[in-house]
Structure 1
Amino acid sequence: MKVACVGGGPAGLYFSILMKLRDPSHDITVLERNPAGSTYGWGVTYWAGLLDRLQAYDPESARAIADGSVRWSDGVAHVRGERTVHHGDEGFGIGRRQLLEVLTRRAEALGVRVEFERELLPGAELPDADLVVAADGVHSGLRERYADHFGTRVAVGRNPYIWLGTTRVFDSFTFSFVETEHGWIWCYAYRFGADHSTCVVECSPATWTGLGLDRTNEADGLGLLEKLFADILDGHPLIGRSSADGSAQWLNFRTLTNRSWYRDNLVLLGDAAHTTHYSIGAGTTLALEDAICLTDALHTAPDTSTALARYERQRRAALLPVQSAARHSAQWYENLPRYIRLSPPQMFALLGQRHSPLLPYVPPQLYYHLDQATTRLDSLRRLKRWLGPRVARTLHARRQNAEL
């Protein structure tokens, strides 16, 4: 099969690796519009389950990713001067640039042609290939060519956020919530290398404008954030973009979905097909899992059309619980005043429960005590898992009816 993959991010590169491992005779080219070594962002997170999956499909790249990652097992929250620690699941961080370098080297070693500074301009003909993979991100140009067919929908989140780096190296996944005269502002930070961490800052629109972050220049904005989060930064600076292509930008998260994921021999992969709110740290994992599923479908289905339909069906089903978790996570932060007046340990516990569909409909104090009880009684735990989605659906339907 001749394959052209437009976009050299994790999804496109890993897909090309897996295709070559399945059949070295595949003719695969990855077209990346940016120069080699340039990328946006800082570090990405993932969890132990992803490493197990990568090990099953390509042990060599899995080992390289594991070797380039840092690990943590604790979460720490700073709220109103109190430090709360939660011992949780093991997490991993790796620099986005390092991840791309690992995947690029592996792809090229297997015979994939990775061509940098190769942008497919609007109106240009699609690459001559049996399969064209649109792995060109949330602003996919290939997807936008056929917007009516794909049926793209975008829901814009309420809270502004900014993705920053820092030289402060965090040993644990760290949250900090700071109250200002204009409302609360918060960040979460995690290490992804020996000398850098990612720091994502978020707040409500009222806090953003009240602090003047909507109109300040980058240097002054970073200076203000450094003062607000001085307790966790410990004198270290915040850093804007990790490349020279512009300053860090305040954004509102765009949750993207598509009615269809393929058209003829063109298929969407990764962020071109779907996005989930950054607060659950699943973007890179979902992109790599897309690549695994598409590769499996192409090598088990009788023809390409059947394979693409199977890929879309399977990934849609797998994404449903993740998209639900991401939606509730984003809403938890958008409704922070509902939880922030709890004691810091209780608030941090509910932060860990923010994916629950039941949480928005139960008084926080009551939910906390119910959650503590379920850790001791298995019958209550099963009831909570059964009841949550049903209560959420019922109350959501009632709200919609009341608004009509």
Structure 2
Amino acid sequence: MRVKVACVGGGPAGLYLSILLKRQDPSHDITVHERDQEGSTYGWGVTYWRGLLDKLHTYDPESARALEEHSVRWSEGVAHVRDLATRHRGDEAFGIGRHRLLEILAGRARSLGVRLEFAHEITDGNLPEADLVVAADGVHSALRTRHADHFGSEIRTGRNRYIWLGTTQVFDAFTFAFVETDHGWIWCYGYAFGPERSTCVVECAPETWSGLGLDEANEADGLAVLEKLFADVLDGHPLIGRSSDRADAQWLNFRTLTNRTWHRGNLVLLGDAAHTTHYSVGAGTTLALEDAVALAGALGEHAELPRALAHYERERRSQLLSIQSAARYSAQWYENLPRYISLPPDQMFALLGQRHSPLLPHVPPRLYYRIDRAAGQLEALRRFKRWLGPKVARTVHARALASRK
């Protein structure tokens, strides 16, 4: 059945949904409305993992191949604490520039017949006529805000300050750097997203932010302070503040958004308009694309729109529970950094990797580290025994047969 869809917001979620719906039925009439000019996106690079890429190859191989081709990858993490460093192997991860990601998805959507309308802001007052209106317009969604009471929107503001920057330093691993100042600790997360650029997110407690004068510094002066503090990991490369022509980079407090329900009549929330998760788990883009997959699947499975939207909401709410919990504990780990930073670097980095644990805040860090190591060794022993058992059994059986000859 031909359906008319108006998708408000030209980010990853909205564009990928339009691709999937057109692949399901080319007769669907789909328009993506984006308030900004084409190519004027904010932000630097985004991260994702192999699991997402495998899913994307299933749902639209062409865009997945382009995404993989234009991504950089790494499988190690390195943490710098004062003048010490430790490096660990991890899962395969990818980085891609947000601008390139949107370029790939927009090009694919156009090739399938999706209409893209840029510099076209949609509000509740000029909603296009459509069978389905998708609010994919981000955490500040105008469509959701207009009906905030119905959606039951709640926003919790985090304590720490952070700023999203770029740099010409190309990190070879996911890089953490923790620097002690006279006003407390400040740290950054860095990862490459292309052959010449990396993302660098800087975070600190509010008292550190104001103590360093970052609350009053203009962009140039603030970047100079940060370049000096992170000189070792930047290795002479500059930090870049402005990611678009619209405004300077801003220090922010992360806003965690939840909604009691995700749909109202023929209006449905998608991506950051429906939920946000703290940037320290690196899941924002992944969750947005997975929302699109789930909504397209529900619309393909159910002919009645109310049933499809209810199915989509139930499915995604259930799938989000674990990652939302992990994000909350991850944010708390950084907000309580002094509790962990005095550990030896290898132990601190191990607990950095365990920051999603709901148990960690309630157990002394050194004790938790010992328990975690013991549990890991026990699991390794179990795996060895599972591997060894059949081999021993075959050997005993062979000897028994030989003794009967």
Compute the TM-score of the two structures, normalised by the length of structure 2.
0.93
For 2:209, give the aligned amino acid. Answer: W
User: Following the alignment from structure 2 to structure 1, what is the Cα–Cα distance between the partners of residues 36 and 220?
Assistant: 26
In the alignment, structure 1 residue 36 sits paired with structure 2 residue 38: yes
1:119-164 CA-to-partner distances (Å, cap 9, x unmatched) read: 114x523210000000000000010111110110000000000000
Match of 1:70 among 50, 69, 72: 72
User: Following the alignment from structure 1 to structure 2, what is the Cα–Cα distance between the partners of residues 55 and 328?
Assistant: 31
For 2:170, give the aligned amino acid. Answer: V
- Residue equivalent to 2:322: 321
User: Following the alignment from structure 1 to structure 2, what is the Cα–Cα distance between the partners of residues 205 and 380?
Assistant: 45
- Residue equivalent to 1:402: none
Q: How does 1:3-402 map to 2 (within 5 A)?
A: 3-121=5-123, 123-378=124-379
**Structure 1 pair 261/381, CA: closer, same or farther in 2 (3 Å)?**
farther
Deviation of 1:358 (Å): 0.7
User: Following the alignment from structure 1 to structure 2, what is the Cα–Cα distance between the partners of residues 352 and 380?
Assistant: 22
Deviation of 1:380 (Å): 10
User: Following the alignment from structure 1 to structure 2, what is the Cα–Cα distance between the partners of residues 153 and 127?
Assistant: 27
Residues paired across the two proteins, number: 381
User: Following the alignment from structure 1 to structure 2, what is the Cα–Cα distance between the partners of residues 161 and 56?
Assistant: 36
For 2:20, give the aligned amino acid. Answer: L
User: Following the alignment from structure 1 to structure 2, what is the Cα–Cα distance between the partners of residues 63 and 252?
Assistant: 35
For 1:372, give the aligned amino acid. Answer: R
Q: Are the aligned partners of 1:10 and 1:287 in contact in 2 as well (CA < 8 Å)?
A: yes
User: Following the alignment from structure 1 to structure 2, what is the Cα–Cα distance between the partners of residues 377 and 345?
Assistant: 20
Q: Are the aligned partners of 1:164 and 1:199 in contact in 2 as well (CA < 8 Å)?
A: yes
For 1:8, give the aligned amino acid. Answer: G
Which segments of 5 or more consecutive residues in structure 2 lack a partner in the other structure?
384-405
Q: Where in structure 1 do 4 or more consecutive aligned residues deviate above 2 Å?
A: 378-382
Q: Are the aligned partners of 1:332 and 1:354 in contact in 2 as well (CA < 8 Å)?
A: yes
User: Following the alignment from structure 1 to structure 2, what is the Cα–Cα distance between the partners of residues 219 and 346?
Assistant: 36
**Structure 1 pair 67/379, CA: closer, same or farther in 2 (3 Å)?**
closer
Q: Are the aligned partners of 1:187 and 1:200 in contact in 2 as well (CA < 8 Å)?
A: yes
Which segments of 5 or more consecutive residues in structure 1 lack a partner in the other structure?
383-404
**Structure 1 pair 381/275, CA: closer, same or farther in 2 (3 Å)?**
farther
Identity of aligned residues (%): 72
User: Following the alignment from structure 2 to structure 1, what is the Cα–Cα distance between the partners of residues 375 and 216?
Assistant: 47
Deviation of 1:378 (Å): 2.6
Deviation of 1:21 (Å): 0.3
Q: Are the aligned partners of 1:373 and 1:380 in contact in 2 as well (CA < 8 Å)?
A: no
Secondary structure of 2:374's match? helix
1:223-245 CA-to-partner distances (Å, cap 9, x unmatched) read: 00000000000010000121110
Deviation of 1:376 (Å): 1.2
1:201-235 CA-to-partner distances (Å, cap 9, x unmatched) read: 00001111110111111100000000000000001
Compute the TM-score of the two structures, normalised by the length of structure 1.
0.93
Deviation of 1:379 (Å): 9.7
1:349-401 CA-to-partner distances (Å, cap 9, x unmatched) read: 1000000111111100000011111111139999xxxxxxxxxxxxxxxxxxx
**Structure 1 pair 269/330, CA: closer, same or farther in 2 (3 Å)?**
same
Please provide the CA RMSD for this pair.
1.2
Q: Are the aligned partners of 1:39 and 1:97 in contact in 2 as well (CA < 8 Å)?
A: yes
Q: Are the aligned partners of 1:166 and 1:197 in contact in 2 as well (CA < 8 Å)?
A: yes
1:92-113 CA-to-partner distances (Å, cap 9, x unmatched) read: 0000000000000000000000
User: Following the alignment from structure 1 to structure 2, what is the Cα–Cα distance between the partners of residues 364 and 17?
Assistant: 47
Q: Are the aligned partners of 1:36 and 1:116 in contact in 2 as well (CA < 8 Å)?
A: yes
User: Following the alignment from structure 2 to structure 1, what is the Cα–Cα distance between the partners of residues 267 and 256?
Assistant: 22
User: Following the alignment from structure 2 to structure 1, what is the Cα–Cα distance between the partners of residues 258 and 104?
Assistant: 29
Over alpha carbons, which structure has the higher Rg? 2
For 1:63, give the aligned amino acid. Answer: R
User: Following the alignment from structure 1 to structure 2, what is the Cα–Cα distance between the partners of residues 305 and 293?
Assistant: 15
